[in-house]
Amino acid sequence: MSKFLPLAAYDTAADGRYQLLPLKLTPLKEDRYVLTNMVGEYAVASRQTVSSLVRHTLRPTDPKYQELRTKHFLRDADSNVAIDLLVLKARTRYQKLADFTSLHIFVVSLRCEHSCPYCQVSRQSDDRSAYDMSTETASKALELVFRSPSPAIKIEFQGGEPLLNFPLIKFIVESAIEINNRAPRPLQFVITTNLALLTDEVLAFCKAHEILISTSLDGPRDLHNANRPRPGRDSYERACSGIAKAREALGYDRVSALMTTTRASLGRPREIVDEYLRQGFNNIFFRALSPYGFAIKTKTYAAYDTDEWLKFYFEGLNYIVELNKGGRPFVESYAATILTKMLTPFDTGYVDLMSPAGIGIGAVVYNYDGDIYASDESRMLAEMGDRTFCIGNVHKDDYEKIFISDALLTPLEESFSASAPMCSDCAFEPYCGADPVFHYATQGDFVGSKPMSGFCEKNMAIFRALINMMEEDADTERLFRRWASF
């Protein structure tokens, strides 16, 4: 029987040569490859350089040798500290796992006066108070929120339209502050609202408790009103008026907006960016439709494919780069999130790009009826009748039972990208996420077939493009490095 040689036989650094550190590589463009290590540092090299590297024939006099050594792709007798640095960066990158669940989403009502066809929530009409969360359910949920070991807590109010149950928002905020005073830690509140029902009372309460406002802005008037219809056909006017009033009352940087790409949006990325500029925003998040809830029932999700969305995305991204080069600072937030993972040792905590998956770890959702879901998308899946990702109920289950439930741990374990088929060999794995909810919704499996995954197709195209753009233009690289700290 053959046996492994002793460990010393593999330590090529000991005799003056170099030793490879863990790395992955993927074709990038033409004969170039992108290489990444276990903490996401990347290098671009020709096929010839890669061949020399893996054959241990790359010479120390080669400029690429020095870059690869500095970025921890190899170590030699002069770089024994590389292992310690790699460990430190890996520990930093996975620190958020120890924090565990900082974002807690309260669905205070399913009622809504909008009827957006792409809505992921099976929203109810605004007179259906049976779909409001009760104070009893809210109190039980708050008990669980403050069991979280996270050093900071964020509570976000969603719906439906959460302002239709504003008295409960007041109750939750005041109760959370009282609980937090017993063992203080940073506590933040966000109301996600369409702003149509914004009042002076709401703004006064938000100012008193430093509550942030998050809203939707899909683009110019005609596009926004078409995407987000409501009685009176004045969704755009109410949104813009609400943004202005909220800024005046709370501060300019206390209001953010998010857009959703519909079929009608596809040819208009520049107009949408211009609208954000007109409204005084310094960033935009180009968001694709998601395969959940009402968007499936109305067949809105099937309105375009990934290739069409990518064409929209890159036209918008290139326009934003042009604006920056012309002296107008503006950020595409999804690219900035990815660039932070590419260019720094830090993880942004963006749930869709976490591995292990962000479900339960990055966020948890308390539904109006007391059911608890591993993510907002999990809750939307349940609205379609599939409760696979329901991890408990505030009235029936304690903290331990909820967060060690098979409904949470099984998809986390099975979808871990570092060991998932194809993901484990992909150079882009350090930047990507597992997203078992998306793959279950689209393929009926927590892992999914990666060649058939719209999630993979979209993200791999963006990863490649961002690296290519930095490699081909020094000004763009400097811009993107600024975005990485946005």
pLDDT at site 14: 45
Q: Are residues 137 and 55 in the same domain?
A: no
Q: Are residues 109 and 204 in the same domain?
A: yes
pLDDT at site 127: 58
Q: Are residues 393 and 280 in the same domain?
A: yes
Q: How far apart are CA 197 and CA 239, in angstroms?
A: 10
Does 292 map to a domain? yes
Strands (E), 18-112: 19-20, 23-29, 32-37, 42-46, 74-75, 103-107
> Cα angle at 328 between 326 and 333, to 5 degrees?
115
Does 463 map to a domain? no
pLDDT at site 123: 55
Helix (H, G, I), strand (E, B) or coil at 148: coil
Long-range Cβ contact pairs of 91-96 (< 8 A, separation 24 or more) = 92/345, 92/346, 93/39, 93/40, 93/345, 93/346, 93/347, 94/347, 95/347, 96/347, 96/349, 96/354, 96/361, 96/362
> How many C-beta atoms lie closer than 10 Å to residue 278's C-beta?
10
330, 320 Cβ separation under 8 angstroms: yes
pLDDT at site 284: 98
Does 43 map to a domain? yes
pLDDT at site 259: 95
pLDDT at site 15: 47
Q: Are residues 64 and 140 in the same domain?
A: no
255, 221 Cβ separation under 8 angstroms: no
Pull the structure tokens for residue 337: 């999130």
CA proximity to 95, closest of 352, 354, 336, 342: 354
Q: Are residues 89 and 178 in the same domain?
A: no
Does 473 map to a domain? no
Residue with tokens 């608890």: 372
Q: Are residues 70 and 119 in the same domain?
A: no
Does 374 map to a domain? yes
Q: Are residues 118 and 137 in the same domain?
A: yes
**How is the beta sheet containing 390-393 ordered, strand by strand?**
286-287, 255-260, 212-216, 187-192, 153-158, 103-107, 363-366, 371-373, 390-393
What residue numbers bound the domain in which 203 lies?
100-403
Q: H helices within 251-350, ranges in order?
A: 269-278, 293-297, 306-325, 333-343
Does 72 map to a domain? yes
DSSP symbol at 62: S
First to last CA, the chain: 57
Q: Are residues 89 and 108 in the same domain?
A: no
The per-residue pLDDT of the chain, averaged, comes to: 91
Q: Are residues 196 and 51 in the same domain?
A: no
Low-confidence stretches of the chain (pLDDT beneath 50) = 1-2, 13-15
Does 62 map to a domain? yes
Q: Are residues 34 and 49 in the same domain?
A: yes
Q: Are residues 56 and 186 in the same domain?
A: no
CATH number at residue 203: 3.20.20.70
Helix (H, G, I), strand (E, B) or coil at 480: helix
CA proximity to 411, closest of 391, 436, 448, 443: 436
**How is the beta sheet containing 23-29 ordered, strand by strand?**
23-29, 32-37, 42-46
Strands (E), 123-238: 153-158, 187-192, 212-216
Q: How far apart are CA 205 and CA 196, in angstroms?
A: 17
Among 32, 64, 93, residue at a domain's last position: 93
Q: Are residues 134 and 273 in the same domain?
A: yes
- State the total domains in the chain: 2
Q: H helices within 354-473, ranges in order?
A: 376-383, 399-403, 406-415, 436-443, 454-472
> How many C-beta atoms lie closer than 10 Å to residue 98's C-beta?
10
